[in-house]
Chains A and B, each alone.
Chain A
Amino acid sequence: MVSAPRSAIVPHAILIAGLVIVLFPIFVAFVAASHTLPEILNAPMSLVPGPHFLSNTIEALYAGTVKTSGTPVARMLFNSAVMALAIAIGKIAISLPSAYAVVFFRFPLRRTCFWAIFVTLMLPVEVRIMPTYRIAADLSLINSYAGLTLPLIASATATLLFRQFFLTIPDELVEAAKIDGAGPWRFLVDTVVPLSKTNIAALFVILFIYGWNQYLWPLLVTDTPAMTTIVIGMRQMIGNGDAETEWQLIMATAILAILPPTAVVVLMQRWFVKGLVEAEK
């Protein structure tokens, strides 16, 4: 064993410093969400949590803030959940079949299709803002869940990951299926999908986070408070940061916005770490 270190104090000290830097901004948001607005404005605010966390959270959830015309944060959470789930499930649902098609068949334009999917890696929405917005408008997708999700649902990453995995499925399995008289659909449903369970779980975590944390696209494609996602809603609550900014509610909202994706990452950590490192290979 190399590392029978004389003392592990230094690594622990550095790691604890890392934890402090990670947790401090979240802790301060939590503390602010537990104070009243005057207590926050009377700078510097006390770093000891106050008694108002629950009441502020409930007020944000059900009554909303002045600057978002009273749209309840519960509604924004719902919108974010729909968006994240639809994107994660949608991306998996269209990527798994397309990877299956390019791996298990030979047909004209197969390589073209694969490259077309691959090239989308190089066309993030950030580089084609205006025309994508116009297409969404032409298709009447503004302020709709379809508009929030459909344009983001193509996935080169997921297709590449499934393709990589499908290439490792032994030929014997395919041959056995053929001997048993199973066609391509049967083989997909009975063999390939069950074998892909771990990959699907890992991708789900990554894509859920991706969907939940979208910013630019929902900002473009929604303009009514009722369709706002929680990440966009926070921006609108802050406005220009003047005296009426309800920081206690904004920070309660921040905690609400952080909680679901954090829970997914922490609870599904094992799959997520494996999936992330593999998806990017």
Chain B
Amino acid sequence: MERRVVFAGWLCPAVLLVPQMAVTIVFFFWPAAQAFNESLRRGDAFGLTTHFAGVANFAALFASPNYLASFWITAVFSASVAVLALAPGLLLAVMADRVVRGAALYKTVLLIPYAIAPAIAGVLWMFLFNPSIGVLAALLRWLGIDWNYFLDAPQAIMLVILAAAWKQVSYNFLFFLAGLQAIPPSLVEASAIDGASPRRRFWTIVFPLLTPTTFFLLVVNIVYAFFDTFGVIHNVTQGGPGQSTEILVYKVWYDGIVGLDLGGSSAQSVILMAIVIALTAIQFRFIERRVHYA
């Protein structure tokens, strides 16, 4: 889409674009290019010089059981966060769409986690499940569950999934609610007149109309789980126990900043970039389709 009527000249737009382009080039493109460059180089044992190493860094990554494990953990983590944030978001939106009394209050409170940083969501849940002082940890022990996420890998993964998903439900709730409110009431009424039960109306009319929203949110939630949950991991488990909660973003930070493995960390950056590009491309394809449906 383009405007027909525009202003003449190039100096004015150039001036307007300079700040954005300067920041973009200095802090986005230049570092991204550096990451590419360094991913193809290796340092000597003393870290003083580097030499071109081709795809050696990538080959080393994919030969490393740790890195492959991190991929697997990230997949399990992201899929779980997406499902655990989407399903309650949809359920709550459907319910909020049905009630009249208290709707504004429900909506306001359900919005709150959106405002809370993932890192702080992590702290809140960590405190609830702290093996020695956590309120919910005490409840679990009372139920006979041996709860100690410091030592038990599956428990640690469950805890970070829970904290990350809790924060994201708000976002999904909002988008599902907007999607529901955009559905023409006449469609649902027609099916009600035909005698369809509320459950049937939901699955045959409402849910199919929400498909574009659901796909869109699925991608957004996966991106969130991949990239925005660093603070959750860093606060709650630091990747542990062992490396059982070391998702890719945590590993790229750890190997680069703590491990000082420049080439390896840059190669991981390049792989992550490829993942974001793929996810963004998918996301925009679905948005195109959403526009056509609307």
Write out, one digit per residue, whether chain B residues 1-21 have a CB within 8 A of any chain A CB (1) or not (0): 101111111101110110111
**CB atoms of B220 and A280 under 8 A apart:** yes
Given contacts A98-B16, A113-B21, A150-B23, contact A43 B132 (CB under 8 A): yes
Q: Closest chain A residue to B192 by CB distance?
A: A2
**CB atoms of B98 and A150 under 8 A apart:** no
Given contacts A154-B28, A167-B3, A266-B108, contact A122 B116 (CB under 8 A): no
- Most chain B CB atoms below 10 A, which of A1, A11, A41: A11
**CB atoms of A154 and B231 under 8 A apart:** no
**CB atoms of A2 and B287 under 8 A apart:** no
Q: Is B91 an interface residue (CB 8 A)?
A: yes
**CB atoms of A108 and B95 under 8 A apart:** no
Write out, one digit per residue, whether chain A residues 251-281 have a CB within 8 A of any chain B CB (1) or not (0): 1001001100110111001000100110011
* Residue count of chain A within 8 Å CB distance of chain B: 108
Q: Point out the residues of chain B lying under 8 angstroms from A1, CB to CB.
A: 189
| Contacting residue for A276 out of B1, B174, B185, B189, CB 8 A | B174
Q: Is B210 an interface residue (CB 8 A)?
A: no
Q: Is B166 an interface residue (CB 8 A)?
A: yes
| Contacting residue for A266 out of B112, B185, B235, CB 8 A | B112
Q: Is A70 an interface residue (CB 8 A)?
A: no
Q: Closest chain B residue to A96 by CB distance?
A: B16
Q: Point out the residues of chain B lying under 8 angstroms from A241, CB to CB.
A: 130
Shortest distance between the CB of A279 and any CB in chain B (Å):
11
Q: Closest chain B residue to A20 by CB distance?
A: B109
Q: Is A77 an interface residue (CB 8 A)?
A: no
CA separation between A102 and B3, bound complex, in Å? 10
Q: Point out the residues of chain A lying under 8 angstroms from B27, CB to CB.
A: 132, 135, 150-152, 154
**CB atoms of A123 and B276 under 8 A apart:** yes
CA separation between A227 and B12, bound complex, in Å? 38
Q: Point out the residues of chain B lying under 8 angstroms from A120, CB to CB.
A: 24, 28
Q: Is A25 an interface residue (CB 8 A)?
A: yes
Q: Is A23 an interface residue (CB 8 A)?
A: yes
Q: Closest chain B residue to A172 by CB distance?
A: B5
**CB atoms of A131 and B166 under 8 A apart:** no
Q: Is A143 an interface residue (CB 8 A)?
A: no
**CB atoms of A107 and B265 under 8 A apart:** no
| Contacting residue for B20 out of A95, A107, A127, A135, CB 8 A | A95
CA separation between A159 and B107, bound complex, in Å? 29
Q: Point out the residues of chain B lying under 8 angstroms from A61, CB to CB.
A: none
Which A residues fall within an 8 A CB radius of B? 1-3, 5, 8, 10-12, 14-15, 18-19, 21-26, 28-29, 32, 40-41, 43-45, 47, 93-95, 97-98, 100-108, 110, 113, 116-117, 120-124, 126-135, 150-155, 159, 166-167, 171, 174-175, 178, 183-185, 187, 209, 212-216, 219-220, 231-232, 234-235, 238, 241, 247, 250-251, 254, 257-258, 261-262, 264-266, 269, 273, 276-277, 280-281
What are 21 of the A-B contact pairs (CB < 8 Å)?
A11-B95, A11-B96, A14-B92, A29-B127, A32-B127, A41-B132, A44-B139, A101-B12, A107-B10, A110-B13, A122-B273, A129-B256, A129-B265, A131-B35, A150-B23, A159-B20, A178-B5, A209-B115, A231-B231, A238-B235, A258-B115
The 10 nearest A-B residue pairs measured at CB: A213-B117, A131-B34, A101-B13, A131-B31, A215-B231, A44-B138, A97-B16, A25-B124, A107-B10, A261-B115
